[in-house]
Structure 1
Amino acid sequence: MKFFAESALLAEGWSRNVVFDVDDAGLITKVKVDGTPDDAMKLGAVVVPGMANLHSHTFQRAMAGLAERRGDSADSFWTWRQTMYGFLDKLTPDDVQAIAALVCAEMLEAGFTTLGEFHYLHHDPAGAAYADIGEMTGRVAAAASSTGIALTLLPVFYAHGGFGGMAPTPGQRRFINDPDRYARLMESAGRHVKAVPNGRIGVAPHSLRAATVQEIGDILPLADGGPIHIHVAEQVKEVEDCVAWCGKRPVEYLLDSLPVDTRWCAIHATHMTPSETEALARSGAVAGLCPETEGNLGDGLFDAPRYLTAGGRFGIGSDSHIHIGLAEELRLLEYGQRLVLRSRNVLCEPGGWTGDVLFRRAVAGGAQALGQPTDSLRVGQRADFVTLDETHPSLAGRPPEQMVDAWIFAGDKSCVREVRVAGHPVVTEGRHKSRDPIRAAYAKVLTRING
């Protein structure tokens, strides 16, 4: 296959009249600048690489907005979690697949081409394993396959209710596995992922409060060289509880206790000291940032300027899916820093375009975190093409070099015209190919569980 773009954001920057050769596996084999369309398929005027959504709990899309009623006392992540526990007891495997399909379609329409699913809803409402222990992971894989999004499936190991191996609570019963049962879960999940085009698998110890360091060490070989994701330092209480238990802060304890390297993704990592921030950057791990969810939960702000100055890598995710928007995640990441520092264009070097810089860094960091060949539009990487609508009011009249900034700071998903994954079309004129039946199935689920 050959594709032609009038302007494309390549690894080395914006280029004109770009021809991409793509093989049957969907990988780019040749990139020619200043070429001619000839027999190539025309992508559009402005093409950028697809983005990885590196942190997702797809089932939570169905509870978006349900935790916005204030309780009798100050609300927090911990009160939100109780709402989530009550909600998930209603979900069947069919429900999970329908919800995940909507999330995948909405991600694709926003310009995300890879889903990183941090999946911990494993068992039935009583906490018993399904006949196929990986039934729920299989439903997410089926949703990804049916929508055309690439998938890195991250089955979660969750064993405890707090630091030091505390017993889990009743609300966590659908998550819980010991290392042996988790190994069986991973075996099943691996079979399901093999059926997904552009599928990968990794491991995800939920957090240091839900898995001991010994248990994490035991399950790491199951990653088999793939990604390793973990929640860490999301909440102040989490930090305080960790210090009370072992005398160390969570990121400090993680880096001191486990072989954190470029395969790791530290989700949130919100509450770190300067030395922790710099140490995490030096490790080569990716910081998985989810600004809209972190804002919704009142988590706090990641110290992005210090982290990036130290050479840190990051990617973005929509986590709880309170809203699915690529532009909005990057916009809030920058705006949070502006509000705290009372400055502008914080996360960009002098002379650079902030949205463009954030976008490129998030594309590269997301690809690393999910173990996917999507770090840029270059030879050897997957042909994930996102075509922007140059006639959109937020983009009209802009030179290509300013398109991403206009999209990030003035636009939204309506700026995305077409999306291809491995060269195959999944979004046309801003609509996913199966939008209507996916939405109908999702609405049926919501009607039942809220009835």
Structure 2
Amino acid sequence: MDDRLDQGVRTQVAAFRTIRRVRCEQIQLADGWARDQLLEITAEGLIADVGPVGEETVDLVLTGPVIPGIPNLHSHAHQRALAGLTETRTPGKDDFWGWRDLMYRVNNAITPDDLESIARCVFVEMVKQGYTVVAEFHYLHHAPGGDQYVQMDEMSQRLWIAAEDAGISLVLLPVLYTYGGFDQRPLGGAQVRFYNNLENYLILLDKVRKAADSMANRGYGLAVHSLRAVAPEQLTALDRISRVDYPDIPFHIHVAEQLNEVEECIALLGVRPVQWLCHEIDVDHRWCFVHATHVNSRELESMAERGVVVGLCPTTEANLGDGLFPATEFVALGGKFGIGSDSQICSNPARELQLLEYGQRLKHHRRALMMGVGERHNGTGLVQWAVAGGGRACGRLLTGITAGAPADLIELDPDSPRLAVRTTDEALDSWIFSAADNSVRTVIAMGREVVTEGRHAGEAAATEKFLNTLRRLAARSPK
């Protein structure tokens, strides 16, 4: 362990420019688009005020359409090393479980240095595309073989470093992972790196809390891998503890992603996964149910009634053949959702939103489905939902471009051929449904300009380190 971790974050890239006043010629506010607005930003990276431009001196002028930064509510950064390498058929029926075996094989070779370089690269990719905060669902806790590192939060510390280098806000979700199935069989093979019992998990969580509290652009939350990875009594105990010691932070869990998971839950617990959670746990707005792909109408109603945010990861869910979440029905019930990059085959929020909408169109044989009442533009509705639901799942009390919310802004490139000669709403639609290239020109995250003219100052260094890591992993990992 070197001193850079003990002293907190050290930065490999040049410091990002701090923005205190920014003029936006066209900006999406809570009540619609506005022109010539001045945003004032606090030293903590929050929006202090939004109002008409006056004679003030500004740090930055944004001429393209400005929208809120997009929260990434579900990420496994380490899986970026695997992206694109699982597209060959495994023996028998190729599905999620075959993919998982390949993922475990790569996971087992990853060192702390590897994780830092992989995460730095994917976090830079995210922020370049318009994600400004990422909730990292982190379960790669220990060394191969399951031994704890000298500092049990070593891998967590590497994620903090990577996020700071990239300029993205990080909400770290250390994951409780104890068992290998609903029958509570022990973890085996590569899974032993994930193991914690509840006692050790709470020690790790406290270390993460202290690190998160040290910087304004950090957050943390609770996470349980899935119902198959913990005993029911563990989850109920953790929920009770959270309500006393951690009442204001988010709580995430994978649920009902696979049909096999639903069937096993019924066989072992007697009910469906979401049904069990909503009956046995006091589920509320703090909770994020990731995927929730295979749910029935009553489970949809229960999630909506309790304010649960559903974490949708359309490109990953499509890649794994999971299925389609009934998103149209859920939002009709008042349900909230956000999006995540999950397995990192895609780091672009626009592509996630596009595939989310297209999946619903294919299912219902209609167009322009995911939009609010009275809203005419599909892109506007999708972004508003992703910002509100994703922000809540990241533990943010205020979202969007409003006083008190984080100063997270995306400027779309008005000179992009895919976005040019369009109204603001049309440009937003085009960003999601037409732009094949990256049409993001500027990104501000917590008041820091991290992307300028589509470029990130640390991208070249991050990419070089990532490529070196891939070469080492290829030499270490068995084929």
> Is TM (by shorter chain) over 0.5?
yes
What is residue 140 of structure 2 aligned with on the other side? 121
Name the amino acid aligned to 1:243: I
SS state of the match for residue 276, structure 1? Answer: helix
Match of 1:326 among 341, 346, 349: 349
Matched residue, 1:229 = 252
Asked if 1:2 corresponds to 2:21, the answer is yes
C-alpha contact (below 8 Å) 2:75/2:137 kept by paired residues: yes
Does 2:57 correspond to 1:39? yes
The offset of 1:323, in angstroms, is 1.5
Shift of residue 171 of structure 1? 2.7
- What is the DSSP-based 3-state SS (H/G/I as helix, E as strand, rest coil) of the residue aligned with 1:82? helix
| Mapping 1:32-431, distance limit 5 Å | 32-33=51-52, 35-36=53-54, 38-40=56-58, 41-220=60-239, 221-222=241-242, 223-348=246-371, 349=373, 352-372=376-396, 375-412=399-436, 414-431=438-455
TM-score (norm 2): 0.92
The structural deviation recorded for 1:27 is 1.1
| Deviation for aligned residue 1:219 | 2.5
- CA spacing shift, 1:196–1:89, aligned 2, 3 Å: farther
Query: For 2:55 and 2:252, how far apart are their aligned partners in 1?
Result: 42
- Contact 1:373–1:382 (CA<8 Å) still a contact in 2? no
Residues 93, 136 of structure 1: 8 Å contact kept: yes
Three-state SS of the structure 2 residue aligned to 1:154 is strand
Deviations 1:267-286 (A, max 9, x none): 00000001111111111010
CA deviation digits over 1:86-143, x for unaligned, max 9?
1111100000000010111011001000010000000000101111111111111111
Answer with 161-170 or 239-248: which moved more: 161-170
Contact map agreement 1:145 1:197 (CA 8 A) in 2? no
Question: Once the 2 structures are TM-superposed, how far is the Cα of residue 145 of structure 1 from its aligned partner?
Answer: 1.5
The aligned amino acid for 1:103 is V
Paired residues of 1:50 and 1:374 also in contact (CA < 8 A): no
Report Cα offsets for 1:158-203 as digits up to 9, x if no partner: 0011114232232310001101111111122223334444111111
Q: Secondary structure in 2 aligned to 1:140?
A: helix
1:290 is aligned with what amino acid? Answer: C
**Offset of residue 372 of structure 1:** 2.4
- Residue 347 of structure 1 and its aligned partner are, at CA, apart by 1.5
Q: CA deviation at 1:65?
A: 1.3
Indicate if the aligned counterparts of 2:69 and 2:131 stay in contact, CA closer than 8 A. Answer: yes
Q: Are the equivalent residues in 1 in contact too, given 2:379–2:425 (CA < 8 A)?
A: no
1:45 Cα deviation (Å)? Answer: 2.6
Q: Secondary structure at the match of 2:171?
A: strand
Q: Equivalent residue for 1:433?
A: 457
Percent of paired sites with the same residue: 42
Q: Quick one: distance in 1 between partners of 2:55 and 2:344?
A: 39
Task: Report the secondary structure of 1:128's partner residue.
Answer: coil
- Helix, strand or coil: the match of 1:344? coil
CA contact (8 A) 2:375 2:381 kept: no
Residue ranges of structure 2 left out of the alignment (5+ in a row): 1-19
Q: Is the 8 A contact 2:178 2:187 kept in 1?
A: yes
Bigger mean CA offset, 52-61 vs 429-438:
429-438
2:7 maps to none
String of CA shifts for 1:338-395, please: whole Å, max 9, x gaps: 1111111112246521111011110010110011255110011111111110110111
Checking the alignment, whether the CA contact within 8 Å between 1:120 and 1:156 is kept in structure 2 is yes
Measured after TM superposition, the shift of residue 37 of structure 1 is 6.1
Q: Which amino acid aligns with 2:268?
A: W
Count, aligned residues: 450
Cα deviation for residue 66 of structure 1 reads 1.5
Residues 57-88 of structure 1 show CA distances to partners (whole Å, capped at 9, x for unaligned) of 00000011121110221101011111111111
Distance 1:373 1:103 in 2: 26
What is the Cα-based RMSD across aligned positions, in Å? 1.4
Residue in structure 1 matched with residue 47 of structure 2 by the alignment: 28
Distance 2:78 2:102 in 1: 13
Question: Is 229-238 or 344-353 further displaced after alignment?
Answer: 344-353
Q: Deviations over 1:144-163 (max 9, x none)?
A: 11221111100000001111
Q: 2: distance between equivalents of 1:232 and 1:132?
A: 30
1:299 and 1:132 map into 2 onto residues whose CA distance is: 36
In the alignment, structure 1 segments of 5+ residues that lack a partner are none
Amino acid at match of 2:340: G
**Secondary structure, aligned partner of 2:227:** coil
- Structure 1 equivalent of residue 468 of structure 2: 444
Paired AA for residue 39 in structure 1: T
Q: Distance in 1 between matches of 2:171 and 2:153?
A: 15
Q: 1:36, 1:415 → 2: CA distance?
A: 29
Q: Secondary structure at the match of 2:438?
A: helix
Does structure 2 retain, via aligned residues, the 8 Å contact 1:2–1:19? yes
Amino acid in structure 2 at the alignment position of 1:259:
D
Structure 1 residues 434 and 374: CA distance shift in structure 2, 3 A = farther
For residues 238 and 318 of structure 1, what CA distance do their matches in structure 2 show? 22
Give distance in 2, aligned partners of 1:441 and 1:434: 11
- The code of the aligned residue for 2:57 comes to D
Return the alpha-carbon distance in structure 1 between the equivalents of residues 370 and 315 of structure 2: 17
Q: Secondary structure at the match of 1:80?
A: helix
State the SS of the aligned residue for 1:219: helix
Paired with 2:55 and 2:466, the residues of 1 have a C-alpha distance of 41
